[in-house]
Every structure is written in C-alpha cells, then in structure tokens.
Amino acid sequence: MGLAAGACGSATARSASAPSTAPGAATRGSGPVDVLYAGSLLSLMDNEVGPSFGSATGYAFTGTSGDSGSLANEIKGRVEVGDVYISASAAKDALLEGPANGSWVSWYATFATSPLVIGYNPKSKFAAELATQPWYQVVGQPGFLLGRTDPATDPKGRLAVEALDQAATAQHEPSLAQLAMSTSNVYSENTLVGRLQAGQLDAGFFYGVEAKTAGIPTVSLAGSTLAARYTITVLAHAPHPAAAAAFVRYLLGSAGASALDRAGLVLARPIQVSGTAPADLADVLY
C-alpha cells in the first residue's frame, strides 16, 4: 500500500479512563500498553520514551524489541500480542495487511526517518582509518569485522546489502560485493550494538538514531539516501486500545516529538498516513 494521505475514518470507542484531550495532549489513564518496536529504537524507547510516557499518562509501558520483519511474523503467528507496532519500514506493515495476513494492520503513519550509517568501535585498530578514509576503502580490508542484520527479515540488513552492492559497483571494490553475500557477519538486531561495544566487531551498519543513543561514533555513507522510515500503528484486536491510542498521541505529540528530535531522528512533516486512521487520532496524524 502506498504512502498516500488517508482520510479520517470513524472514531474508535474511548474508555472512561481515556477522555478527550486537546490536540496532541497526553491522555491520562491506567493499565499497561504493549509496544512492539524496531530494535534500532531500543535505547530511545526503554530509557526515554517509555518512562516519560508513563509519567505523563499513568499507563505502564511494556516494550518488546526486535527486527521489524520478525516482529511482523510473530504478530501474524500470535506469538507476540501487542497494542502498538513500530516498524523501520512500511514494507513490514504490508505483511500484516489484508485478510490473508490476518488484517492486523489497516493503517500506519510514517513519522520519522534515520539514515543508514556505519558505526565503529573507537578502540578498533581500524578506527583511525574509518575516521579519515572513505568507508568503502576500509571495511573490505583483511581482518576487518563488519556486522549487519539479516536482510531476509530486517529492513536495516536489506539496506546494508544495498549499500555494499552500490559501493562495490560505483567504487570498483569487489570485496564489498563478497561482504554483501556473506552470512558470517549477520547478527540479530538486538545484539549488534552489544557486540560492537564489546569489541567483537570493528564496525557495523546502524541507523543514526541507535548509534547516537548508544554513543557509537559513526561515518556517513556519502551520497547515500538509504534510511529507516519509521511507521506506527495500533494493531487490530489490541488488548488495550485506549492505552494504545494514548501512546500514539504521546509519541506524535509535542513531548514525543522532542524526544525523537533529541535522538537525532528526522521528523516527517507532514506525517504520511496510509489507510484510514481512527478519527480520535486525527489531531496528531493530519
């Protein structure tokens, strides 16, 4: 489904604990909200957005992180039950649309982007070269350990392969094409930051937001437009719909936008909505 501006649909039911509020204002309530989100947002969600959302609204944030494709598959298989789904690519929302996919997603909003970068361990023997030379001349050197995620399930892994293939062609670096085909450097999204910080990798492909929140130095992929495009939706059959709506309102409202901006995310202005979102979220979506 394309990213076209959607028209507002009929309002979803509000609970007594979720009264109407001013545009973008935090909604007060109680009880849990279960948010399934892209692992690249782990530090941001667990250390800032989740706690501040709880303080502002009274709801209890519970987050489950993972690569976007695996989370989508777990939602379809009812392995994970959640209220809100945040993906790093709209293509993963498409896996949950329509009757054949369980109709878990009927709308989603693209709210922010973050560029693909190379993050490196400052203690790596290659650190000085990465900081001063084009990345594509460094990462293919013998002994260089470059980590990435699985392109079959994780949008970042797919973008990493694209970056390697593009540079291999443009810069005539066949070693990069070999890296793109290798599976020995593939790790789960939730472990990549830790592996780099522990010195198990010289560098890895990250999004700018996760590198910044983890304090990882980076080099840009000069000339590249490869980036995460973060989407958010309330899942069908959400166990806690009022809390889910409150979380979306908070994240896309002024307080959430400030947190996203501090983390280095580029906010979508206007937010792009695919499908028909609930009318009670219109003030933060349209």
Task: In whole angstroms, give the CA distance from residue 220 to residue 197.
Answer: 19
Segments of the chain with pLDDT less than 70: 1-26
**pLDDT value at residue 28:** 87
Handedness of CA 105, 94, 46, 247 (dihedral sign): negative
Which residue type occupies 283?
Answer: D
Q: Token digits for 65?
A: 């992180």
Pairing state between β 227-234 and 107-120:
antiparallel
AA identity, residue 87: S
Pairing mode, strands 203-207 and 146-147:
parallel
The answer to whether the predicted template modeling score (pTM) of the entire model surpasses 0.95 is no
Q: Please name the residues in contact with 39: beta carbons below 8 A apart, sequence gap of 6 or more.
A: 65, 66, 67, 188, 189, 190, 210
What would the two tokens of residue 77 be? 């298989």
Instruction: Look up residue 176 and give its two tokens.
Output: 């990069």
> Residue 6: what pLDDT?
36
Class of 114-220 in CATH: alpha beta
pLDDT of residue 24: 56
Every domain of the chain with CATH number 3.40.190.10 lies at: 32-113+227-285, 114-220
Please enumerate in sequence order all residues whose Cβ is within 8 A of that of 222, keeping only pairs 6 or more positions apart, or say none. 134
pLDDT of residue 16: 32
Q: Which of 171, 204, 170, 212 is nearest to 185 (CA)?
A: 204
Q: How far apart are CA 224 and CA 164, in angstroms?
A: 11
Tell me: domain 32-113+227-285, CATH 3.40.190.10, correct? Answer: yes
Report pLDDT for 223: 86
pLDDT, residue 285, reads 93
